[in-house]
Amino acid sequence: MGTGLESKRWPLTELPCGGGFYAQNFPAIREGCSILQLWAGAAFSARNGDTEGLLSEAARTGLHLTDIFPAPGGFTARCAAWRYLRLAKLARKRRVHLCIRKKTGLFFLLRPYLRRRGLWAGLLLFVPLLLWSQGLVWAVDASSLTTGQQARAASVLRETVFLMPGSIVTQEKLAAGEYALLQSGEFSWVSLNFLDGRLELEAAEAKPVPEIAAGTLHGLRAKTAGTVVNTNLISGTMLVVPGQAVEKGQGLIGTARAERNGTLIFQPAAGSVRAQFEWEFAEELPLTAAAFQLTGNTVVQRRLFLAGRVFPLPSLFSPADDSTAVTRHLQPELLGLTLPLSVEETTYYEQAESEVHSSEDEARALARLHGLQALQNDYPDAEFVAQKVDVTTENNMLHYRVVYTIIADICT
Question: Which CATH number covers residue 82?
Answer: 3.30.70
Residue 346 domain-assigned (yes or no):
yes
What pLDDT, on a 0 to 100 scale, did the predictor assign at position 25?
Answer: 43
Residue 269 has pLDDT above 60, yes or no: yes
Residues 330 and 395 in one domain: no
Measured CA to CA in angstroms, residue 14 lies from 19, 68, 69, 405 at distances of: 12, 11, 10, 120
Q: How many whole angstroms from its chain centre is CA 334?
A: 13
Burial of 124 (0-12, 13-18, 19+ CB in 10 A): exposed
Residue 2's pLDDT band, with cuts at 50, 70 and 90, is: very low
Residues 342 and 381 in one domain: no
Radius of gyration of the chain (CA): 46
Residues 97-107, mean pLDDT to the nearest whole number: 89
Residues 296-300, mean pLDDT to the nearest whole number: 92
Q: Which of 322, 302, 299, 324 is nearest to 311 (CA)?
A: 302
Residue 96's pLDDT band, with cuts at 50, 70 and 90, is: very high
What pLDDT, on a 0 to 100 scale, did the predictor assign at position 199?
Answer: 93
Local structure of 206: helix, strand or coil: coil
Residues 13-40, mean pLDDT to the nearest whole number: 49
Strand 139-141 with 198-205, pairing: parallel
* Contact (Cβ atoms closer than 8 angstroms) between residue 203 and residue 149: yes
- Here the CATH number for the domain that contains residue 159 is 3.10.20.310
Residue 2 domain-assigned (yes or no):
no
Nearest-angstrom CA–CA distance, 384 and 167: 53
Residue 308 has pLDDT above 50, yes or no: yes
Residues 93 and 146 in one domain: no
Q: Of 91, 110, 129, at which residue does a domain stop?
A: 110
Residues 314-340, mean pLDDT to the nearest whole number: 88
Residue type for 84, please? Y
Residues 204-217, mean pLDDT to the nearest whole number: 66
Return the number of other C-beta atoms located less than 10 Å from residue 213's C-beta: 13
Residue 57 domain-assigned (yes or no):
yes
List the single range of 13-22, 191-200, 255-264 with lowest mean pLDDT: 13-22
Residue 117 domain-assigned (yes or no):
no
Residues 13-17, mean pLDDT to the nearest whole number: 36
What pLDDT, on a 0 to 100 scale, did the predictor assign at position 216?
Answer: 58
What pLDDT, on a 0 to 100 scale, did the predictor assign at position 313?
Answer: 92
Residue 75 domain-assigned (yes or no):
yes
Q: Which of 303, 342, 337 is nearest to 137 (CA)?
A: 342
Residue 246 domain-assigned (yes or no):
no
* Contact (Cβ atoms closer than 8 angstroms) between residue 101 and residue 44: yes
| Tally of structural domains, the chain | 4
Residues 387 and 344 in one domain: no
Nearest-angstrom CA–CA distance, 221 and 203: 43
Q: Which of 193, 267, 203 is nearest to 235 (CA)?
A: 267
Residue 165 has pLDDT above 80, yes or no: yes
Return the number of other C-beta atoms located less than 10 Å from residue 188's C-beta: 11
List the single range of 51-55, 238-242, 259-263, 350-354 with lowest mean pLDDT: 259-263
Highest mean pLDDT out of 17-21, 68-72, 324-328: 324-328
Residue type for 270, please? A
List the single range of 142-151, 252-261, 341-350, 380-389 with lowest mean pLDDT: 252-261
Residue 68 domain-assigned (yes or no):
yes
23 or 197, higher pLDDT: 197
Nearest-angstrom CA–CA distance, 403 and 412: 22
Residue 173 has pLDDT above 50, yes or no: yes
Residues 298 and 370 in one domain: no
Residue 153 has pLDDT above 70, yes or no: yes
CA atoms within 13 A on the CB side of 335: 0
What pLDDT, on a 0 to 100 scale, did the predictor assign at position 121?
Answer: 83
Residues 100 and 153 in one domain: no
Domain ranges, residue 99: 12-110
Mean pLDDT taken over the chain: 85
Phi, psi angle pair for 185, to nearest 5°: 85, -5
Residue 28 has pLDDT above 70, yes or no: no
Residues 26 and 94 in one domain: yes
Residue type for 28, please? A
Return the number of other C-beta atoms located less than 10 Å from residue 220's C-beta: 25
Residues 313 and 349 in one domain: yes
Residue 327 has pLDDT above 50, yes or no: yes
Q: Which residues of 133-156 are buried (b: 16+ CB within 10 A; e: fewer)?
A: beebbbebebeebeeebbebbbeb
Residues 310 and 390 in one domain: no
Q: Which residues of 64-99 are buried (b: 16+ CB within 10 A; e: fewer)?
A: bbbbbbbeeebbbbbbbbebbeebeebbeebebebe
Q: Of 332, 353, 374, at which residue does a domain stop?
A: 353
Residues 344 and 375 in one domain: no
Cite the DSSP H helix spans in 347-400.
Answer: 360-378
Residues 103 and 48 in one domain: yes
Instruction: Name 329's Cβ contacts closer than 8 Å, sequence gap at least 6.
Output: 154, 158, 164, 342, 343, 344, 345
Residue 77 domain-assigned (yes or no):
yes
